[in-house]
Amino acid sequence: MAEFKFMKTERRGNVGIVTFNRPEALNALNEDVAIEVTDALRAFDADDSIGCMILAGGEKAFCAGADIKYVLDQTFETAYLHDFANYMDQVAEVRKPIIAAVRGFAFGGGTEIALMCDIILADLTAQFALPEVGLGVIPGAGGPARMTRSVGKAKAMYYVLTGKRFDAAEAERIGMITKVVEDGRLMDEAMALAQEIAAMPRLSVLACKEGVNQQAEVPLIPGRKVERRLAHALFGSADKMEGMAAFAEKRKPNFTKY
């Protein structure tokens, strides 16, 4: 497997573990991090000795969302030309099961990448949110589309329109995550589950995942294309520039009044 700067990779028998490793930025996503997490998971997917994967973060954060420095300079032109957030979508196309083990902050892109995984375990420290509306943009890596399919329109609309945080108990209650795990047990439970899945017949596991995804996500791709173009377009708005500048300067934004 390739060497990564922002990811740690580990094998435990037939389980591959990918861990975000940018603690100084709470594992925030920039282009390099997005590429590395995708490539690390795809490498384990291509490895015949691996039957299941775990995606984990650090003590304070699973992934705190997009690095504001990375998205601040995006315009409609750059986002559209380079198809911003497209590469990381390949996480959802990995054939083998991925278990997200969420501790601490999973905001914005952190929530989105967790939703790309097949099973989400979270401990009591986990906090989820899709706060992009407060920055003058929308989640552009599948958040609205996948969250709607997980929890239904009413709950997804509430959290996407308000950007409110919600904890692991609420995430389990609305059906967005699989299970809340007591503190200190997250990786043990994730590993036990990954080993159980990896021990199943490989073809059956791949077929089960494909079958569930077909039923859950057949309409996903057209919706994702629209969602991504909306995200690209909003990079050209004055509110995007003001929202992200205010965030970087730690002040209240002064959005355009229409």
Alpha helices in the chain (DSSP H): 31-45, 68-72, 76-81, 109-116, 143-151, 153-162, 168-173, 186-198, 202-217, 220-234, 238-249
Whether residue 197 is contained in a domain is answered as no
Specify the CATH number for the domain of residue 118.
Answer: 3.90.226.10
* Catalytic option among 51, 58, 109, 110: 109
Examine residue 139 and state whether it is found in any structural domain, yes or no. Answer: yes
**pTM > 0.85: yes or no:** yes
Predicted local confidence at residue 98, as pLDDT: 98
Structural domain includes residue 73: yes
Q: Which of the residues 56, 66, 85, 141 is marked catalytic?
A: 66
Q: What does the CA dihedral 20, 24, 25, 28 come to, rounded to 10 degrees?
A: -10
**Residue 132 annotated to the active site:** yes
The closest alpha carbon to 42, from 90, 110, 111, 85, belongs to 90
Q: Which of 28, 132, 194, 227 is catalytic?
A: 132
Tell me which residue has tokens 């706060």: 131
Q: How many CB atoms lie within 10 A of CB 173?
A: 14
Is 213 contained in some domain?
yes
What pLDDT, in 10s, does the model give residues 193-241? 999 999 998 988 998 999 888 777 667 777 778 788 888 888 888 888 8
pLDDT of 43-72, one tens digit each? 999 999 999 999 999 999 999 998 988 888
- pLDDT of 258 > 60? The answer is no
How many domains does the chain divide into?
1
Which one of the listed residues 40, 104, 112, 129 is annotated catalytic?
Answer: 112
196 found inside a domain:
no
SS3 28: coil
Give residue 98's domain range: 1-184+202-258
Is 93 a residue of the active site? Answer: no
CA distance 128 to 195: 26
Per the prediction, the chain carries an average pLDDT of 92
Q: Please indicate, yes or no, if residue 191 is contained in any of the structural domains.
A: no
Burial of residue 175 (number of CB atoms within 10 Å: 0-12, 13-18, 19+): exposed
Pair 138, 169: CB distance under 8 Å: no
Match 């389980």 to its residue by tokens.
Answer: 15
- Which has the minimum average pLDDT: 24-33, 77-86, 152-161? 77-86
Whether 196 sits among the annotated catalytic residues: the reply is no
Residue 192 lies in a domain: no
Indicate whether 194 belongs to any domain: no
Is residue 66 annotated as a catalytic residue, yes or no?
yes
CB neighbours of residue 83 within 10 Å? 12
